[in-house]
Structure formats: C-alpha cells, structure tokens
Chain A
Amino acid sequence: MQFLNQLYALSKRNVILRYKHSVVGFLWGFIKPLIYLLIFIVIFSSQFSSVNNYVLYATSGILFWFFFSNIVSQGVQSIIQSSGIIKSVNVSPILFPLAEVLTELFNLLLALMVYFVVMHWFGIQYTFQLLWILPILFIFSIFSFSIALILAALNVYFRDIGILWNTIQPAIFYLTPIAYTEELIPPRFSYVIKLNPIYYYIKLFRYPLYESKAPDFHIFAVCSIISLVTLMVSLFIFNRLKNQFITAI
C-alpha cells in the first residue's frame, strides 16, 4: 500500500515536472506523434499509395513507439535525476523507473482518446476488438519497463548508457516497420527486423487498431514470453546493482 502511494506521488511529480513551464502542456503527448505523422505523410504516402489507410497504419505504430521510447529515455535518467531523494529518503529505487511507466501510460491514454476520435475520418472501425489493446499494452509496458530498468541501473555507473540510448534510438525506430510496411524490406534482410522485439509488439497493436481483428495468438504468446524473460533478467540485474547506487549518484 505504501509502495503504491509512493509510486503515485512520484508519477504525479513526473507529470507536473514535465509540463511545468509549457504552454500546451499535456497536448504535447498528442502533438509529438502528430508532427512525425505529418512528416511521414509528406515523405512516404505517395510511395505507399498501395497501403490502405496509410494514416491509420502509421499512427498505430508511431503512438506505441513513442510510448516505448519515452519510457526508456525518461527511465534511463530517472535514478540519477532523483539522487536527492535517494540520498535522503529510504525508498526502493525501482519506484523511479516504474513511475516513468505510469506517467507514460497516463500520457498515452490522453493521446489515445484524441486519436480514437480523429481516426474516425481515417477509417478506424469501432469494434470490441479494440479492447485487445489493453492486454497488449500490458505486456508491452512490462517489456518497456524492463529495458528502462536495465539501462537505468547501468546508467548510474556508466553515464554513457544514456547517451548511447539517445544515439541508437533513431536506428531502432527506422529498423521497425512503423512508417513503412514490412514488404518493403528485401527478403534477404527480413531477418533483421525479425530480431527486433519491438516489431512484434507493433504488429500486435495493428491487429485491433488497423485490421480490426483479434491478434494472432502465436505472436501474442511470443510477446508475452519476451516480456516475462526480459522482466526477470532486468530485475536480476537491477537487484544486483541497486545497493551501491547511493555511492555513485
């Protein structure tokens, strides 16, 4: 119970801090993907005139990509940025990356609400299949949290990790079929995207959002296993490193 209260307080802090001196505030969670979407439409849509509802296709990828990348980017810094609290209050350090996940979930829900309305004009089907987003989001959150957890713990000792993440983040983005379709990849390179776990999660989200049907059970099972394994690995690494955090921040 106390854990939940602390988690809530930290997430609230994150939300307040993020939009403290910004004019549009929460709307940034919606505007940032929108800007990307506009860029993609300008650059790619003539290329992909064969793709049905390109706007819906790209949106269903971009929204969840930003969910993931924001969690990791914020999560990596979350522990070193809270050094004041960690040095003076006896709190479990795992709360800090976890609070970033909650903050992003909150932002995503706001963005989703806007998009569910806007996507009406781009051919979204309002069916009960859309509810599949919730379980998929659940396993995707676990995956994102695990990656953030590992990188945050390492970043305490090696500040390079944060910089490294910022550098390779665009590469991972372009390696994932978000703005383009996977058919575009030449078959001999298709294994490259198949090694990228985010590819599977994005694919899962597209079943209910883009194709209006239930996700493929096989992919869902694989993703659940990926989430579970990364969670266990990340908890192991984090627990190994957390006792000495205070000496390095």
Chain B
Amino acid sequence: MSLLLDLNNVNVRYRTNHAGIHSMKDLLTSFANPFQTTLILKDISFQLQKGQSMGILGRNGSGKSTLLRAIAGIIKPSKGSLKSFGTIAPILALGAGLELELTGYENIQLLLSLYGRKVTKEAINEIASFSELDDATLNQATKCYSSGMLARLTFSISFSHHCDIYIIDEVLAVGDMGFQTKCIDKINELKKQGKSIIFVSHFPDEVVKICDQAILLEKGVLIHKGTSEEVCQHYKELF
C-alpha cells in the first residue's frame, strides 16, 4: 500500500467577517483589526492509503467542506503540512462551479477545460450519457434545472475524470433512487479499480456502506478517527 494523502497538524484560518467588511463604513467603525482571522481547522492529522476510502462526518459548520477544499488545494493551510501523492478529482458538491446562465453542454465544456482536460466529443458524450439527461435538457440554461438534475450533471462531470482520489460532498441525497443506485455502483467500481474516495455525508449508514475509514469533526477539531462503524457510532452519540 502506498500513501496518498498525508495531513500533519493542518490548520486553516479564515478571515472573519462579523457582518462582513464589505464597505468603508464597516472598516471605519470596526476599530479592531479588520483582517482578524479565525481558526476553522485545528491540528488535523490523518493519512489515507491508496485504495482506502474515508468518510468525513460532523455537524453542519464543523469544517468538513473547508477540509475538502484544503485537500483539493483550493485553500492553503496556514500551518502544518498537507501532502498529496496522487491526482485529485474536483470537489463534487451540489452545483459547484456551474455557471447558471450557461447551458448544460456549455458548462460541461467550461468545467472540462478548467479542470485541465481536453474537450473532446467523446468526453462530452460520456458525461451526457452518464447523467441520463436528454439533449433538450442539456441545451437549456442550468438555472432551470432542478436540484436533482444539477446533482446528476456535477456528479457526471466529476466522475468522468481519471484520478486517484474522488471527493464527494453530500450529493447523493438529492438524486432520485435510480441515480443514487447508479452512483453507488460507480463508486464501488472505482473502489475495485483501487481508487480512493473521500465521502462527506450526514447519513452514517451510507458512510458505513462506502468507506472503511472515517473521521469525525467537531468545531474544527478531529475528535475521532477509526473504522467507519466506530466513528459512525460516535457521530450518532453527538445528537
């Protein structure tokens, strides 16, 4: 087994916006340093081996999405080291990165280029067929899509990548049953190929099904680390 992800005491700081310093008035009236920061993630350490799948559990606002962004390299840790030894597929969150005024096809092209992939007919068709959205829908502006359709589109785009780590952020919840099953099948297929999945969900049963390892975050601190059954048990005890 080889190491894919190695996080060592990772801290992530965010600039605090009390009410948001979005105007000069706020700046002048807040005598405190306007560029105050808060620690969102405190000393997170864990490792992920190739082929392992990791679930991330925690309350709303416990820092899950920030952790995913740090792993994907979108936000830099303020302290600690975060090393990844594989390619990471883009974060899969509901409608993430979609330009709502553009059509489905235009979004597929835009995101493929932004992710650094070649925009070919085959790539587009593969995504379109996986999403099971028809041509008429894909030619419509994505602002008209239902949340289930958005999930289908983002899911399909992210899964068209050939990467070592896939990051899935609470998307399964909105798709219909048929698509959920399809996604679970796809995830299992990827796992068989030896890919790693990082999976965020509020449904402990799903996490147990998909992941072997899990971590539990509470207010930016990693409070439990272990097999997914154990951690899910701790998660249920939170409430």
Is A87's CB under 8 angstroms from B69's CB?
yes
Q: Say yes or no: is B188 at the interface (Cβ < 8 Å to chain A).
A: no
Using CB atoms, name the residue of chain A closest to B106.
Answer: A16
Q: Taking the complex as formed, is A195 at the interface, i.e. its CB lies under 8 A from any CB of chain B?
A: no
By a beta-carbon cutoff of 8 Å, the part of chain B in contact with chain A is 14-15, 17, 21-24, 27, 69, 72-76, 90-91, 93, 95-99, 101-102, 106, 109-111, 113-116, 119
Whether the pair B111, A89 counts as a contact (CB closer than 8 A) is: yes
Q: List 27 A-B contacts (CB under 8 A).
A: A2-B116, A5-B116, A6-B116, A9-B114, A9-B119, A10-B110, A13-B102, A17-B99, A17-B101, A84-B96, A84-B98, A84-B99, A85-B99, A86-B74, A87-B69, A87-B96, A88-B91, A88-B96, A88-B97, A89-B97, A89-B114, A90-B72, A90-B74, A158-B21, A243-B76, A247-B75, A248-B17
Chain B residues near A85: list those with CB within 8 A.
Answer: 97, 99, 114
Q: How far is the CB of B93 from chain A (nearest CB, A)?
A: 6
CB distance from A84 to the nearest CB of B (A): 5
What 1/0 flags go to A1-20 for Cβ under 8 Å of B? 01001101110110011001
Chain A: CB-nearest residue to B113: A9
Q: Is the CB of A88 within 8 A of B93?
A: yes
Asked if A30 lies at the interface with its beta carbon under 8 angstroms from chain B, I say: no
CB distance from B220 to the nearest CB of A (A): 14
Q: By the criterion CB–CB under 8 Å, are A158 and B24 in contact?
A: yes
Which of chain B's residues have a CB closer than 8 A to the CB of A247? Answer: 14-15, 17, 75
Q: B111 touching A8 by the CB < 8 A rule?
A: no
- The docked-state distance in angstroms from the alpha carbon of A158 to that of B25 is 10
- Is A158 a contact of B23 with CB atoms below 8 Å? yes
Contacts of A8 in B (CB 8 A): 113
Interface size class of A (residues with CB under 8 A): 20 to 34
Complex CA gap A69/B207 in Å reads 52
Which residue of B is nearest A9, CB measured? B113
In the complex, what distance in Å separates the CA atom of A153 from the CA atom of B44? Answer: 30
Among A13, A91, A158, point to the contact of B27 (Cβ < 8 A). Answer: A158
- Besides A6-B114, A157-B22, A160-B24, 6 new A-B residue pairs in contact (Cβ under 8 A), listed by A number: A5-B116, A16-B106, A86-B74, A88-B91, A89-B74, A158-B22
Contact of B102 among A16, A89, A90 (CB under 8 A): A16
Is A244 an interface position by the 8 A CB rule? Answer: yes
In contact, A91 and B23 (Cβ under 8 angstroms) = no
**A6, B74: Cβ atoms under 8 Å?**
no
A231 to chain B minimum Cβ distance, whole angstroms, is: 25
- CB-based contact A159/B15 at 8 Å: no
A248-B113 contact given A88-B97, A157-B21, A243-B76, CB 8 Å threshold = no
The chain A residue sitting closest to B169, CB to CB, is A88
